[in-house]
A and B are shown apart, each in its own frame.
Chain A
Amino acid sequence: MSKGTLFDKVWDLHTVGTLASGQTQLLIGLHLIHEVTSPQAFAMLRERGLKVMFPQRTVATVDHIVPTTNQKRPFADTLAEEMMSALEQNCQENGIKFYNIGSGNQGIVHVIAPEQGLTQPGMTIACGDSHTSTHGAFGAIAFGIGTSQVRDVLASQTLALSKLKVRKIEVNGILKPGVYAKDVILHIIRTLGVKGGVGYAYEFAGSTFENMTMEERMTVCNMSIEGGARCGYVNPDQVTYEYLKDRDFAPKAADWEQAVSWWESIRSDADAEYDDVVSFNAADIPPTVTWGITPGQGIGVDQQIPTLEQLPEDDRFVAEEAYQYMDMAPGQAIEGIKVDICFIGSCTNGRISDLREAAKIAQGRQVAAGIQAFVVPGSERVKKQAEAEGLDKIFQEAGFEWREAGCSMCLAMNPDKLQGRQISASSSNRNFKGRQGSASGRTLLMSPAMVAAAAVKGQVFDVRELV
């Protein structure tokens, strides 16, 4: 059992008590909600005559269903409009802060909370969205929950949970040019498997993560869940504090010093005990692309799709399913595979630094003939910042479309969808069958720079040749 880790300290501090079942009742410091997983939770509260216990500890935005072209209300999609109206009404009736479209603060929930300084070290954070693990980048214990649990947090600000084990994932060394945070997490998932993290919180440690910016750490923690780990975190350090200082909800004046010293105290101890430790070398990590139907089916861009014989027996079943669905053959090179759509955005890679890296590749080049490429900023603030830096112009001159903020084609709940058997090069987080809006559509996950490279070449291309 782990001891002295950040996870243990934050868990203990937020423990309200032990339930009759033996589970822990855990206090949630920050609750984030959006339009998809909250309406039923509010309905359950109404049914039971319960009220929101701490409305000031819940913050709402709208992201999954928002159109990225025409955002005029009412939305053309009447179901999306109904969800939007329900969220507006629930927030208003319960006194919950709501960052609506046009507020200047709307965006993907996992982009807006960090950028406003709502996300802080040492917090417990829950949201009805599996990518809540993103907030672990700050040294918070953050995890996705379902709608009945959203109800529980609204009603009691707590959850019934069993404690997780802690696995330390150490990556040391310097990443090679053209290799990004996205490649690091895809490499980890490819190695440990999509269920390797079940039952664990992942602590990302080592010089590679220490050298990352906060946005890079967010990309890594975001995809913890794709490796099966409900939450992932990085211990807070100077990089964290510099990012947070002076943000809207960051502690101010005398409280700042007190906050930093508390944040330092919750870091994992030097002699902390872990349930498991795994190590990687940064220099071994190539630009990584998924070829299959799970985020664990990744390979280096210069590698070939594995044959059944090269895979552990346990992975062969889903590999066979993937060959067929993706229409890709074992032994085939991933580089050179033609793509149709290029999508840059999502809670994984829709932040300003992601757009900057992609713009560097796009600048002075042209989207290949027949390719549709589009950029969806993660939030209204990211969009504004990108426009101030002229990134929108760079993208548009290169032939990319420049859109409004939202989740967009990561999961295609809005009008942005693949058609038929189209293949996308996507900076998002899931390549599941049908994920991007077409029941037969295909997704190749990669870094935003690799997506930009695919857009200008019309095919999967090794970005190292362009940087």
Chain B
Amino acid sequence: MGSEVISVCGRGIPLMGNDIDTDRIIPARFLRCVTFDGLGEYAFADDRAALSEHPFNQPRFQGAKILVVNRNFGCGSSREHAPQAIAKWGIQALVGESFAEIFFGNCVAIGVPCVVADADCVKQLQEILTNNPEVEMTVDLESMQVECGDFSGAISMNPGARNMFVSGTWDACGQLVARTEEIKATAMKLPYLSWSR
């Protein structure tokens, strides 16, 4: 399962703000479900209702594939509903100053790369997109560059996660299950699995 994610190209959408948490990305009431289907329309539901000019409301950003965010994006709960909602809205990659850890891991698990750029680069990207939403962006995991029209900047990513994207192994499940014997051998070494209770 999974396919190589080497680069993502498309239009971008800027979302300004630090510490945007997963409750804001997908409010808890939308977690009352047993599938992830249909979550896309509820991405940032309350923020969008409170702010009519929220980027996700603006027609000019519809169809964007790359979300550009600031510091500590996705902090808070472990709900995979958050990256699922963003992905189902249409986002295929995120560029940000930093990402919360569980959110980042959830994005890896669903094949959506989150790459880090420095604050100046993010600011420039957000300005370019705000002024010209039609410009084409590319997030390239081989060259580790982000391009946005004539602008380009360096990006970084945890090497393990990057390898998973470029080699198409971001869906780890199959690889993990394949090592049944090693898993059992490791379990045998754990004293607590054999204690009486």
A residues within 8 Å of B by Cβ?
Answer: 13-17, 19-23, 25, 27, 29, 36-37, 39-40, 43-44, 48, 50, 53-54, 64-65, 77, 79-80, 82-83, 86, 117, 120, 122-123, 128-130, 132, 143-149, 151-152, 155-162, 194-195, 198-199, 225, 228, 230, 248-253, 255, 258-259, 262, 293-294, 296, 314-315, 317-318, 321, 411-413, 430, 432-435, 437, 439-440
Contacts and interface: CB of A to CB of B under 8 A. Distances in A.
Given A80-B32, A82-B34, A156-B177, A432 B21 contact: yes
Please give me the 4 A-B residue pairs with the lowest Cβ-Cβ distance, nearest first: A146-B106, A146-B80, A148-B109, A144-B78
A40 B106 contact: no
Contacts of A149: 105-106, 109
A249 B197 contact: yes
Nearest to B187: A27
Contact of A160 (B79, B110, B172): B172
Contacts of A195: 19, 71-72, 75, 98, 100
A259 B191 contact: yes
B160 A162 contact: yes
Interface in B86-114: 98-102, 105-106, 109-110
Nearest to A129: B78
Interface residues on B, range: 35 or more
Contact of A432 (B24, B32, B182, B189): B24
Given A86-B34, A155-B177, A16 B100 contact: no
B77 A157 contact: no
Interface in B1-57: 1, 17-19, 21, 23-24, 27-29, 31-36, 46-47, 49-50
A199 B161 CA distance: 14
A129 B81 CA distance: 12
B98 to A, nearest CB: 6
Interface stretch (B60-68, B147-155, B162-170): B162-170
Contacts of A79: 32-33
A37 B78 contact: yes
A83 B76 CA distance: 22
Contacts, number: 242
Chain A interface mostly: loop
Contacts of A225: 102
A87 B76 CA distance: 24
B101 A22 contact: no
Contacts of B105: 145-146, 149, 161
A29 B192 contact: yes
A304 B172 CA distance: 49
Contacts of A251: 192, 195-197
Given A16-B182, A23-B164, A198-B101, A430 B76 contact: yes
